[in-house]
Amino acid sequence: MSEGKWTEAELEAVFNNAVRRSMVDLEYRKQLLANPTSALAKIDNRPLPANLKIVFAEADEKIVSASLPKPIVSDQLDEAQLEMVAGGVDAVAAEGCTVTCLITCISTNCTLASIIA
50 shares a domain with 104:
no
For 43, the domain range is 1-59
95 shares a domain with 49:
no
Residue 70 lies in a domain: no
Residue 112 lies in a domain: yes
| 63 Cα distance to chain centroid | 17
Grade residue 4 by pLDDT with cuts at 50, 70 and 90: low
93 shares a domain with 50:
no
What is the three-state SS of 45-92? CCCCCCCCCCCCCCCCCCCCCCCCCCCCCCCCCCHHHHHHHCCCCCCC
Q: Which of 87 and 18 is assigned the larger pLDDT? A: 18
- The 10s digit of each residue's pLDDT in 31-59 is 999 999 999 999 999 999 888 889 999 98
CA 117 to each of CA 58, 96, 111: distance values in angstroms, whole numbers, following the listed order = 18, 6, 10
CA dist 82 and 69 (Å) reads 13
- The 10s digit of each residue's pLDDT in 72-88 is 776 677 777 677 666 54
Predicted pLDDT at 115? 43
Residue 80 lies in a domain: yes
Q: How many domains does the chain have?
A: 2
**In this structure, are residues 107 and 64 in contact, taking their beta carbons and an 8 Å threshold?**
no
